[in-house]
Structure 1
Amino acid sequence: MNDPHYFELAKKLDLESFLELFASFLSRPKPPHMEGDIHRHRQFIEALDKIQFNPPPPIAPLERDIIHLKKFGFLRRDEIFEWVKLWRYMLYLKNLRIEGILFDWFAQIRFPETILEIEHRFDKEGNLKEGIYPELDSVNVSLKRTKQEIKEALLRLLSNASLLPYLIDRQIHLINGEESLLVRGGFNHAIKAQVIGRSAAGFFYVLPESVSRLKEREGALLSQITEMEFLICKELSAMMGKQLPFLGYLDKEFDRFDHYQARVAFARAKNLEFMTPSRDTKIILEGFCHPALNNPKPISVRFEKSILMVTGVNAGGKTMLLKSILSSAFLARYLIPMPILASKSSIGSFKGIAAVLDDPQSAKNDISTFAGRMLSFERFFKERGFLVGVDEIELGTDSDEAASLFKVILEQLIKRDFKIIITTHHKRLAALMAANEEVELMAALYDEKRQMPTFSFLQGTIGKSYAFETAERYGIPPFVIKEAKEVYGQDKEKLGELIEKSAQLEIELGQKNRALELELERVRQKREELNDTLEKQKEAHRHHLQRLDQRYQEAIDAAKEAAKESQAESIHKGMNNANKLLQAIKEEERSRSISNPSLKHEFKAGERVRYRQSQGTILSLGEREVMIELDEGFKLRVKKGELRPLGQLPRPKPKAPKISVEGARSAQVSLDLHGLRGDEAVEKLDSFLSDALLAGFDEILVYHGIGTGKLAYAIKEFLKTHPKVRSFEDAPAQMGGFGAKIIKL
């Protein structure tokens, strides 16, 4: 990884350890950036995550080898074997039983016969296989035999009676790459040998003369093998040099796969999820945990506008919130998996990411804190579309002056499509920016009872700093805190209290909203369960009808077969079988009626019934459907099978208002128009109004129901034009509500 900006930003965001852990899953070091469409890369990663595969072995970078071969150089045996490992792994991938885009990708890789021939000449340890180079095999056999002779010669010397008095131990020691014996002074009386070293105790490591001659032969054989391998590697390098385009292509394809497999393996090992940058600039995080924290509290934040300004309690997590937002965008930019709830999150795409976090003051560079901040912002005016985080924005100068200056700077950066997260303890800048529609406010919250930060945040408000409380928590004497509050002033303290109270009200409102959402979700689930139950009942009913049809048909067929018999005994036997089938059907129907009383119950108009979770009264009955009025005032047309008898008396309807009038005894004060067409209802209403006027009524009640609203509309339009109608209005709830009208004559 040679991207300096990558490491610089990773260090600022406390991601170094996390990224080092990710790099350990790579077969070889490489920059984090993947060329090409990041959404296409995501498709390959998702496909790879669905299969099981062996990770690639560690493989050295091979770019220099390609340059060397282009210049007609040759590679050593170990360098060629690095290529062999790469070829073998890519051949392994080609032989995997896979489908889709991975199969199409690997199928495009076609190995030249020359490359396959070179790969065949090496064993698993990187040595040249036996049987391909006979002369080399012969020398290797001689070398092996010579090494065995050296070992046997040393063992014989260890058993030599004349040498035993001089031996310190009966081991073979390896000194400077030479096999030797450890002896004391005077050994030359028993053996001719060359001293090649001395021990800490003053004893001698010696190489016996007989072994020395064998070692010389071993050295000659090794030189011969080296010369032979040089010629073989030169030949193999020449063969590889003719396949340079394929080698360069395959090396890039392996790097691409290495990017994919490392991300998949890292996500599996650490239970991480992938986020691909979206086409917009919104940042919505749900359940994100900064990798640098132990036992972190997951954060949830919606950053949809241009500026997010975070205020509130000291040491309340404002800086870590800023780093978390930048870190999520940074990891998504390089498609590195992260601890997040990906299904509920969204991270936009940006041309660049920058963090202004530390104090830039430097005596060496003769620069102040504020001047350093100005240099950082000066660079931003040369860019567009950046995501920027600024911690303690007014650092290093007067907060009132800084607030005015940064207000203008931020407004100009908004015009350059910047998205900026800011933390601050000063309220003036927040107050100046609060009216801007592109600014979101967020407050770090404080637990008054426990007197410590909650490390949680509330959007839409300004937070109190709690400087006095924090100072007291960290040991500042109470009398100092008290005097500081007096200097600060009661009016400002009250302002802080109002800010905190506003935040508390926001929290309570959020809790109530969440409780309401949970209740709504419970109701939705209950409704879905009822619908599922109804569907199951309908399905069971259909199956039951099918079974009945089948059983009836079997009974009929049995009766027909009995009728065909010529002998009376056979006819009686067949009819008995048919009767048994019919009896079984009747028994099944009887059992089903007992388990479901509504199937055998004969409903009547005015009867009280249960429909799902509600109760009501039957208004009218059809052959299969029933019109019921629920206690809640709604009228429904439902199937008989959906009703359950309650066995109760009809619920009395609310009485209409008592109207004392004198008139014809046949006249009525109420009229029911349910079920009529518009023209029929108007005609009947006109006649009813005439009777009411003749009877001297000054107030009457008309029921028209709710339904589709057409009947109510027709009645309303008629009443508007009737010359004797003074006014009309919807009836009270207990008298029909929207389904009835009280008419004054």
Structure 2
Amino acid sequence: MRVEKTSKIDHLINQLDLNEHINSFKQFFSRESALYIEGDQELHYKYIKSLDTIEFKAPPKVADFFTIKGHLKKHGVLNFEQIFEIVKVVRYFRYFKNKELDGIIGEWMRKFIIDEKFNEVEKYFTHDGKFEENLDETLFGLGARVREHKANISSSLKRLISNAKLSSYLMDSQIHLINDEECVLVRGGFNHVLKGAVISRSSSGGFFVAPDSILKSKEQIRYINQERESIFYRYAKEFSNKLSELQLFIAFIDKEFTKFDNYQARVLFARSSNLQIIKSKKDSKIILDGFYHPAIQHAKPIHVDFSKNILMVTGVNAGGKTMLLKSILAAAFMAKYIIPMKLNENRSHVGSFKSVLAIIDDPQNVKNDISTFAGRMQEFSKIFEHKEALVGVDEIELGTDSDEAAALFKVILDDLIKRGQKVVVTTHHKRLAALMADRDDVELMAAIYDEEQRKPTYEFMQGIIGKSYAFETASRYGISNTIVNEAKIVYGDNSEKLSLLIERGSQLERELKQKHQKVDEKLEELKAKELDIKAQREKLYSELQEQRDALKNSYDVAINEAKTAARAGDSKAIHRAMDKANKKLPKDKKEQVIIQEEFKVGDSVKYHSKKGVIVSMRDKKDATIEIEGMRVRVKTSQLKHTKIVKQNPRTDVKVSVEKRSGLKCDLHGMRADEATEALDKFISDALINGWDEVIIYHGIGTGKLSYAVKNFLIAHPRVKKFEDAPQYLGGFGAKVVTL
């Protein structure tokens, strides 16, 4: 079942042209793993984003623990290579623990408690997995003896090569190692002067001979190595026994490393290619902004709003319709598996689907013994088995009459929507698009054709049915104008006009629906505001009534207290009670009186922030003032008298704006938070100085600084756009920013 599922995923990856992208992604895994991370995707995404804020080295390549755990369970003996696989994982987690991180990654690492028994095993292995023979006195001595015998062998061979009797038979003066045997290369007839065993023949006809003079040393080495192997086996058995007692710990680190490997692979892959990590949201809406399909070099970014149930893409041949369909499905697939991609993550939104299905290829071939249309029907029949799927169909009417297909596929699409499917369709024929255009849950999109350049722009416009431009495409790809013109005559003006009427009629219908929808929304908004105002008025009236009742009650209480004091004949108590009652009464607001200042010629006045003197007046409302050598006619209501006010002690705060000599900002060597602060000040200075284009150098490095700069520029309200600088200005290590 798992193999079948993997096969379907591989087929989909191939259909969507994601093979190279996925293979590049898999290179960042330390051990072979499935693309999908089992478990809570929200939690996985939280760990991935948290890990993305940390600088760390990639884990080593590690084998799967399946065989290792099986041997330990049966109390078998592991070899040193298998033991070192466990050591590598523990050492890597210890490396992360030693970073003493905060947040969820730090909490995760603190769960790894390494038993002292494991430390007794680990100390016997070097960083590259070799056994530390120095820790065992016997092994150390045996190793010294092996080295001594090898030195004797080397000396013997060197003396042999310099022997005058053998020199005429030697084909070279090198000592060769063939099948782990030291030997010399000699010609035929060597047996008259050299006793030894032939190990192999050379391509030039010579013989590789191991001399008998070194056999004794070799036998000694073999004997010593057997003794060493027995000691190694004793250690392997001892280590295996200790690890058998730590099976739960080994199973835990194996599971956690697989999870961590999935996280780090996504983070490091995204950093390596400046990609974004996003996951699918809990709805079916798809909005792509600045999406680049990884299979296309120098592609134009894709911008599409696929919030409705059906997206129908029409328009020019070879205009990018199929690639748009593949891009939508690819984005949904990669978001589902949290695979990094290139897009504007802040303005994009990718929904969640139980499965992604593609009907793209032509099913007709000799082996299938089936027509194109029949094959398409077989593929459509499988779609009905799914629910809540994203379905992409390329050239939906392929293989049959377009008018009949339009009627058939309209009903099929209606039924798919009822089943909760979301469908994106490409077609050259307008009949189906026209039939579907009156639905509120259908979004139309057309590939744009440049009439002047006579070629597709590979851009799209939403809300219209596009023309196929079959005649223009034929001319562009080499069909003679004579044939194309005759075809236009056969097609006829009436057919062309009918096609244009379908396009225009569909567009007008959708525009009218949109206008009606906007009017309805406006009416609903006004009704909501009316209800809100009514509710506020009732609330205010209720609050006012409550305050009035509370005030009356408190005043009645105070009066009653005064009456009680009066009956008791206590004059002081009466006054206190009356004062208390008066305080409860609402105070009369003093009427504000606006006093109009009077001016005369010669008065020193202030006009806005400038000071001047009145030089003439026409009446009380108009005056002419002199400010810094200029005379200005103003209204007296805009003037104020200037007075000499005694200065109180004060602290002056001066704000200075640093004037920069150039239009560039160099962030090399800074941390992300330092760079953000410096960049914020730099852009503020640029705006004050009136610059509309600047360049920012951040370098390439690990990609962390570039990532921080990009996010800052996206979020800044005064940044119109930015892009990578040309190669002569820094390339990927710099950004040109338009303000």
Same fold (TM over 0.5): yes
CA offset digits 1:365-392 (Å, max 9, x no partner) = 3332222222222222222110010001
CA offset digits 1:215-240 (Å, max 9, x no partner) = 12222222222222222212211221
> Is 2:68 the counterpart of 1:65?
yes
Kept in 1, the 8 Å contact 2:607–2:638? The answer is no
Paired residue type of 1:201: S
CA distance in 1, matches of 2:93, 2:115: 13
SS at match of 1:162: helix
SS at match of 2:346: helix
> Is 2:124 the counterpart of 1:121?
yes
Partner residue of 1:319 out of 306, 319, 322: 322
Partner residue of 1:476 out of 479, 482, 485: 479
Partner residue of 1:620 out of 634, 637, 651: 637
The match for 2:89 is 86
> Is 2:288 the counterpart of 1:285?
yes
> Is 2:256 the counterpart of 1:237?
no
CA distance in 1, matches of 2:42, 2:625: 59
Q: CA deviation at 1:186?
A: 4.0
Mean CA deviation greater in 486-495 or 95-104: 486-495
> Is 2:187 the counterpart of 1:170?
no
Kept in 1, the 8 Å contact 2:622–2:633? The answer is no
CA offset digits 1:401-460 (Å, max 9, x no partner) = 111111111111111111100001111111111111111111111111111111111100
Partner residue of 1:598 out of 610, 615, 622: 610
The match for 1:388 is 391
SS at match of 1:10: helix
User: After the TM superposition, which residues 9-48 of structure 1 pair with which residues of structure 2 at under 5 Å, given as runs?
Assistant: 9-48=12-51
Q: CA deviation at 1:606?
A: 3.2
Partner residue of 1:200 out of 198, 203, 214: 203
CA distance in 2, matches of 1:52, 1:407: 53
Kept in 1, the 8 Å contact 2:607–2:639? The answer is no
> Is 2:359 the counterpart of 1:356?
yes
Q: CA deviation at 1:363?
A: 3.3
> Is 2:344 the counterpart of 1:344?
no
CA distance in 2, matches of 1:55, 1:245: 26
CA distance in 2, matches of 1:215, 1:126: 27
SS at match of 1:441: strand
> Is 2:249 the counterpart of 1:246?
yes
CA offset digits 1:607-642 (Å, max 9, x no partner) = 5899xxxx99647369799xxxxxxxxxxxxxxxxx
Kept in 2, the 8 Å contact 1:463–1:499? The answer is no
Paired residue type of 1:142: R
CA distance 1:597–1:102, shift in 2 (3 Å): closer
> Is 2:410 the counterpart of 1:404?
no
Partner residue of 1:145 out of 127, 130, 148: 148
Kept in 1, the 8 Å contact 2:274–2:342? The answer is yes
Kept in 1, the 8 Å contact 2:463–2:507? The answer is no
CA distance 1:608–1:601, shift in 2 (3 Å): closer
Q: CA deviation at 1:596?
A: 8.6
The match for 2:648 is none
CA offset digits 1:302-335 (Å, max 9, x no partner) = 0010000000100000000000000111111111
Partner residue of 1:269 out of 255, 272, 275: 272
CA distance 1:501–1:215, shift in 2 (3 Å): same
Paired residue type of 1:317: G
> Is 2:225 the counterpart of 1:222?
yes
CA distance in 2, matches of 1:191, 1:374: 81
Kept in 2, the 8 Å contact 1:139–1:225? The answer is yes
CA offset digits 1:642-692 (Å, max 9, x no partner) = xxxxxxxxxxxxxxxxxxxxxxxxxxxxxxxxxxxxxxxxxxxxxxxxxxx
CA distance 1:623–1:139, shift in 2 (3 Å): same
User: After the TM superposition, which residues 672-711 of structure 1 pair with which residues of structure 2 at under 5 Å, given as runs?
Assistant: none
The match for 1:660 is none
The match for 1:308 is 311
The match for 1:95 is 98
CA distance 1:595–1:208, shift in 2 (3 Å): farther
CA distance 1:36–1:618, shift in 2 (3 Å): farther
CA distance in 1, matches of 2:23, 2:432: 39
> Is 2:62 the counterpart of 1:74?
no
The match for 1:426 is 429
CA distance in 2, matches of 1:609, 1:97: 71
Q: CA deviation at 1:497?
A: 4.6
Paired residue type of 1:182: L
Q: CA deviation at 1:362?
A: 3.6
Paired residue type of 1:325: I
The match for 1:372 is 375
C-alpha root-mean-square deviation of aligned residues, in Å?
Answer: 2.8
CA distance in 2, matches of 1:501, 1:30: 52
The match for 1:132 is 135
CA distance in 2, matches of 1:470, 1:432: 26
SS at match of 1:458: strand
CA distance in 2, matches of 1:616, 1:414: 72
Kept in 1, the 8 Å contact 2:607–2:640? The answer is no
CA distance 1:619–1:494, shift in 2 (3 Å): farther
CA distance 1:284–1:325, shift in 2 (3 Å): same
Percent identity reads 48
CA distance 1:616–1:211, shift in 2 (3 Å): farther
Q: CA deviation at 1:204?
A: 2.5
Partner residue of 1:335 out of 338, 359, 371: 338
SS at match of 1:620: helix
Q: CA deviation at 1:479?
A: 2.2
The match for 2:161 is 158
Aligned length: 535
CA distance in 2, matches of 1:126, 1:279: 46
Q: CA deviation at 1:44?
A: 1.6
CA distance 1:335–1:136, shift in 2 (3 Å): same
Q: CA deviation at 1:81?
A: 1.1
CA distance 1:454–1:14, shift in 2 (3 Å): same
SS at match of 1:166: coil
SS at match of 2:142: helix
The match for 1:212 is 215
CA distance 1:596–1:171, shift in 2 (3 Å): farther
CA distance in 2, matches of 1:72, 1:314: 67
CA distance 1:192–1:439, shift in 2 (3 Å): same
The match for 1:446 is 449
Paired residue type of 2:270: A
Kept in 2, the 8 Å contact 1:196–1:207? The answer is yes
Paired residue type of 1:620: S
CA distance in 2, matches of 1:594, 1:137: 97
SS at match of 1:269: helix
CA offset digits 1:101-134 (Å, max 9, x no partner) = 1111101111122222211111123122134333
Mean CA deviation greater in 36-45 or 158-167: 158-167
Q: CA deviation at 1:601?
A: 5.8
CA distance 1:207–1:624, shift in 2 (3 Å): farther
Consecutive unaligned residues of structure 2, counting only runs of 5 or more, are 510-604, 627-631, 643-739
Paired residue type of 2:490: V
